[in-house]
Amino acid sequence: MKLRKVTAASAVALTLALTATACGGGDKDSNSSGGGGKIKIGIKYDQPGLGLKEPNGDYSGFDVDVATYVAGQLGYKPDQIEFVETKSADRENALSRGDVKFIVATYSITPKRQAKVDFAGPYLLAHQDLLVKKDSKISKGTDLNGEKLCSVTGSTSAQNVKDKIAPDAQLKKYSGYSECIAGLQSGAVDAVTTDDSILAGFAAQDKYKGQFKLVGLKLSNENYGIGVKKGDKETLDKINKALEKMVSDGSWQKAVDKNFGPADYKNEPAPKIGNIVQ
């Protein structure tokens, strides 16, 4: 009798284990496709208008809207998305480690990066530009000669301006773009340079609305793509289809207007998938 009881108990335990396995016990990870699971998406946390983690824990910006739309097309509801801060220097590693399923974080498509990751898109064509005060007389690059130009330490944007169009510009490097924008507001600097989308995102903040303008220099072409782990063609194809739908149903333009509109950002038309502007 004792042996039969043990055997019966074991059978029950085994049946329960098999049932749990068959039902997919446990949470699904970012490799699943909706159905109650979670997906991890890499974004920036410190770029207003693009990828920003708000003080209350919410997320906002054009990249966030694109990521949310794409995830929706992959079968995930907003509450199934886990946004992960993905800094520029760690983007390739985050994908190769599997920390995130894909990355939407002002990720410019370049040959060097394409050797390490695959890119869906592009989903936005940005350009290096200048942000100045609304009443500034700076209207072209040469106007920067003798003026104070701000960019972030480690960025090549300011040096690019100095090398190409304004050799006598006075470079001022701060630790972050927030400091540059604050310096522009106070008069400590005369212009800030980086991608026009990033500048527009800052200028669109409530505390800066109406104070700044983009000069419109288009000093470079920045093709923003969605980074995917190298070789993950299935996810790549799904994201490209999602981006095409986002453009065709008007959601892409709505996201542009919502996040950049207050800065009078004259965005390029939505790029075609695979069309990299040199």
pTM of the model: 0.83
Separation of alpha carbons 226 and 42, rounded Å: 10
Separation of alpha carbons 202 and 131, rounded Å: 10
What the chain holds in terms of domains, given with CATH numbers, is: 39-126+223-263 (3.40.190.10), 128-214 (3.40.190.10)
How sure is the predictor about 151, in pLDDT bands with cuts at 50, 70 and 90? confident
The mean per-residue pLDDT over the stretch 3-17 comes to 41
pLDDT at 7 over 70: no
Separation of alpha carbons 212 and 195, rounded Å: 15
- Whether 151 contacts 129, CB under 8 Å: no
The mean per-residue pLDDT over the stretch 196-220 comes to 93
The mean per-residue pLDDT over the stretch 2-15 comes to 42
By residue count, the chain amounts to 278
- In this predicted model, what pLDDT tens digit does every residue of 75-133 receive, in sequence order? 999 999 999 999 888 999 999 999 999 999 999 999 999 999 999 999 999 999 999 99
| Coil, strand or helix at 122 | strand
